[in-house]
């Protein structure tokens, strides 16, 4: 479904991504783990069209999307739920959700998807008239995820969904991610919490200093001694 080939990204003189290759097949959940500054968000921003690579190619359903405008990529079925949530703080919960469907014209399907989102996130239904800026961090993350689902995506890219959240909220967020996976959605998950990410993923890539250093099935990556030492030392606690 998604294929990234020999991707090279530079920030001035900094080589942020170095010949990165990844692939996401339809119906699977793939995670990219790595420390802060490894290039994970840069990779998602490139796939979404916010950054242009110096060399390399991004393909979606066998169509080259390198250099395509972000709104056109959304229309093709790719949803990017960004790091930091970025909800519209002065709008209500419902208005935020409806903005996720701004490229759609199928009113009946939009209404059905709104109902489905409220089913996944009952707290958003309870707060649908509340101003988004007054929500807690966890509720704003739920809102960002719900807004993404309102675009009716075929591929969901999640960037650090647990960032800055309390452990109990992180548990809830990953339970919902698992529920979304069970809906048959294809997911690409970027996450510093390696244990949580590997627990929900089918396959994983390890990104270190802009390079893919390891790839394989998520359980194999989780039980790799090097990964356990580098990323899982405190994750199980």
Q: Is there a single domain that holds both residue 72 and residue 159?
A: yes
For the chain, the domain total comes to 2
Convert the pLDDT of each residue in 33-84 to its tens digit. 988 888 999 999 999 999 999 999 999 999 999 989 999 999 999 999 988 8
Q: Is there a single domain that holds both residue 59 and residue 91?
A: no
Distance CA 107, CA 23 (A): 33
How far the first Cα of the chain sits from its last, in Å, is 35
Q: Is there a single domain that holds both residue 45 and residue 31?
A: yes
Global pTM value: 0.89
Q: What is the CATH number of the domain that holds 21?
A: 3.40.50.300
Q: Is there a single domain that holds both residue 159 and residue 235?
A: yes
Q: Is there a single domain that holds both residue 22 and residue 126?
A: no
pLDDT band at 164 (very low <50, low <70, confident <90, very high): confident
Q: Is there a single domain that holds both residue 3 and residue 42?
A: yes
Distance CA 20, CA 5 (A): 6
Instruction: Give the three-state DSSP class for 34.
Output: coil
Q: Is there a single domain that holds both residue 32 and residue 130?
A: no
Q: Is there a single domain that holds both residue 135 and residue 191?
A: no
């Amino acid at each position: 479904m998604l294929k990234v080939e020999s991707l090279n990204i530079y920030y001035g003189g900094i080589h942020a991504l170095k010949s990165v290759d990844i692939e996401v097949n339809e119906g699977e959940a793939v995670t990219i783990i790595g420390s802060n500054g490894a290039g994970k968000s840069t990779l998602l921003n490139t796939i979404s069209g916010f950054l242009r690579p110096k060399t390399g190619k991004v393909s979606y359903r066998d169509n080259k999307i390198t250099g395509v405008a972000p709104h056109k990529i959304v229309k093709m079925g790719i949803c990017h739920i960004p790091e930091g949530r970025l909800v519209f703080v002065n709008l209500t919960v419902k208005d935020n959700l409806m903005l996720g469907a701004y490229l759609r014209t199928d009113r009946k399907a939009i209404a059905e998807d709104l109902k489905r989102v409220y089913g996944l996130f009952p707290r958003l239904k309870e707060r649908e008239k509340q101003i988004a800026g007054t929500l807690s961090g966890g509720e704003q993350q739920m809102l960002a995820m719900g807004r993404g689902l309102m675009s009716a995506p075929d591929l969901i890219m999640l960037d650090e969904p647990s960032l800055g959240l309390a452990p109990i909220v992180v548990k809830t967020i990953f339970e919902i991610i698992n529920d979304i996976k069970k809906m048959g959605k294809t997911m690409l998950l970027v996450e510093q919490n390696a244990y949580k990410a590997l627990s929900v993923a089918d396959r994983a890539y390890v990104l270190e200093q802009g390079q893919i250093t390891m790839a394989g099935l998520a359980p194999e990556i989780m039980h790799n001694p090097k990964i356990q030492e580098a990323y899982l030392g405190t994750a199980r606690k």
